Structure 1
Amino acid sequence: MTLIAEDLFLVLVDDVTGKPIVDSTKFPRVLAGALVLELAMNGAVRITAKGEVVKDGRLVVSGPPPQDPLLARVHAFIGTENNPPKPQKVIEKLHKNLKQEIGLRLAQRGAVTQHEDRILGLFPTTSWPARDTTRTAWLIQWIHSAIVDGTTPLPEISAVVSMLSAIDAVHKVLPAADKRAAKRRAKDIAEGDWAGEAVRKAVQDVNAALAVAIVVPAIAASGS
């Protein structure tokens, strides 16, 4: 099974350079957000609503842990918190080293190659140039079909599009598409009826959490 986070990695990393096409604040955090969304889509976690004992907008365990070890780790983190966390807290906790972990998973499958280098001969850096672009090409084809042609996407494509919309990166994946129209269509898909009510709430809350998680480090960096 390919995770939503892995699909995002493939479409957000340049096939030739192996570098992300979005900035270093957005990239790891959208991967973390995708893990939370995947757990919600699988029914393993859910986001609380108003009127519950637990405060509104908190992540709680609602099903058994998935078999995938990465998802299981996120599930365990959510389940062992003393106070049910908000999606933003989970994203901030998980995003560190996540791109490296997902890159290694994809490298083991032969989708990318791990390339180690040093900037100015001093600072280590890792890139992930493509090795097998079959999955990436399939993803971009269906994202293009949904965004440009207006077709109804599969749930897995809708999930990827919703995460791209959250970080305003659809035009990065489809650079030839009209930016304004693509952004509007991606938002429509993210808010669409492609999943049940619980998952739609997860999409909304994860997208909102990503917006905050991206803006806060950017403000801190500009003020330093």
Structure 2
Amino acid sequence: MTTEPRSDVPTLAEDLLLLLFQPRSGTIAGENTLFYVLGGAVLADLALGEHLTTPARGRVRSVEGHPPSDDLLRPAWDYLAEKPRGVQTALAAIGPALRKPVLDRLITRGEIDQQPHKVLGLFRTTALREGGTGRRARLLADVRHALVDGAQPQTRIAALAALLSASGTLPQFHREIPWTAPVINRAKELERGDWGADAAAQAVTRTVTATVVNSAIAAITVLPRS
């Protein structure tokens, strides 16, 4: 799988991993369940681009003749073009290979920096640091605006907030997004596809994305959390 983007617009998986990156520790929140939420982000991106359809409840299939141009999304589209798949099956198939290429893209874009580092003063490794683009702060502000202020989010921000909620890591963002009952309720609304009046024209996309997000939640809840 190539790590070179075909578009200047980051994918949902890139934005999600950037949000999950924790600048203070240089780690990524939710590592134990990361492949499910990154897989969910890819499927949600396909849904938002109308590359995906739901032929039956809980199943997804690629829209024939309408592949995505982005190389990060294409393998999932090819996999789902073979036949309809259960969402959890699709997540387990496409998710495990995503972390490295998505992280490589963030490094290439300058969103995250890799710096040489020594462990115990002896062993050479690399440490992750936040880049200087400011994109993570802007994304976090948009998500906060939707979850804390109750603003009607743009479609991509709604999907991103829903996926972040699905990852089970929102409590770790308490400094920026207070973990309160109203925030929890709003996050659950976004998970269900309740994105506001402007989303009415995107009913199919919203339904597919909600199906993906809730299938990811169902899969994640049986796994240990990091």
Tell me whether the two structures share a fold, i.e. TM-score over 0.5: yes
- Unpaired stretches in structure 2, ≥5 consecutive residues: 1-8
1:150 & 1:212 partners in 2: Cα distance?
Answer: 26
Instruction: Give the corresponding residue for 2:19.
Output: 11
More deviation, 203-212/152-161:
203-212
* Residues 25 and 214 in structure 1, CA contact (< 8 A), matched pair in contact too: no
Matched residue of 2:53: which SS?
A: strand
Indicate the percent of aligned positions where both proteins have the same amino acid.
27
The change in CA–CA distance for 1:203 and 1:175 in structure 2 (over 3 A counts) is farther
2:32 & 2:168 partners in 1: Cα distance?
Answer: 13
How many residues end up aligned between the 2 structures? 210
The change in CA–CA distance for 1:208 and 1:188 in structure 2 (over 3 A counts) is closer
| Residue 206 (1) aligns with residue 212 (2) | yes
Q: Alpha-carbon deviation of 1:18?
A: 2.4
* Residues 15 and 129 in structure 1, CA contact (< 8 A), matched pair in contact too: yes
Q: Alpha-carbon deviation of 1:204?
A: 2.5
Q: Alpha-carbon deviation of 1:154?
A: 1.1
Instruction: Give the corresponding residue for 1:167.
Output: 167
2:80 & 2:117 partners in 1: Cα distance?
Answer: 35
The change in CA–CA distance for 1:179 and 1:96 in structure 2 (over 3 A counts) is same
Give the AA of the match of 2:47. Answer: A
Matched residue of 1:175: which SS?
A: coil
Q: Alpha-carbon deviation of 1:167?
A: 2.4
* Residues 43 and 209 in structure 2, CA contact (< 8 A), matched pair in contact too: no
The change in CA–CA distance for 1:160 and 1:9 in structure 2 (over 3 A counts) is same
Larger relative strand fraction: 2
1:34 & 1:142 partners in 2: Cα distance?
Answer: 17
Instruction: Give the corresponding residue for 2:35.
Output: 28
Q: Alpha-carbon deviation of 1:97?
A: 3.5
* Residues 112 and 131 in structure 2, CA contact (< 8 A), matched pair in contact too: yes
Instruction: Give the corresponding residue for 1:75.
Output: 77
Q: Alpha-carbon deviation of 1:139?
A: 0.6
2:126 & 2:51 partners in 1: Cα distance?
Answer: 32
2:126 & 2:78 partners in 1: Cα distance?
Answer: 29
Matched residue of 2:61: which SS?
A: strand
Instruction: Give the corresponding residue for 1:102.
Output: 102
* Residues 166 and 216 in structure 2, CA contact (< 8 A), matched pair in contact too: yes
C-alpha RMSD over aligned residues: 2.7
Give the AA of the match of 2:218. Answer: V
4+ residue segments displaced more than 4 Å: 115-121, 123-127
Q: TM-score, normalised on structure 1?
A: 0.82
The change in CA–CA distance for 1:206 and 1:119 in structure 2 (over 3 A counts) is farther
* Residues 171 and 183 in structure 1, CA contact (< 8 A), matched pair in contact too: no
Q: Alpha-carbon deviation of 1:170?
A: 2.8
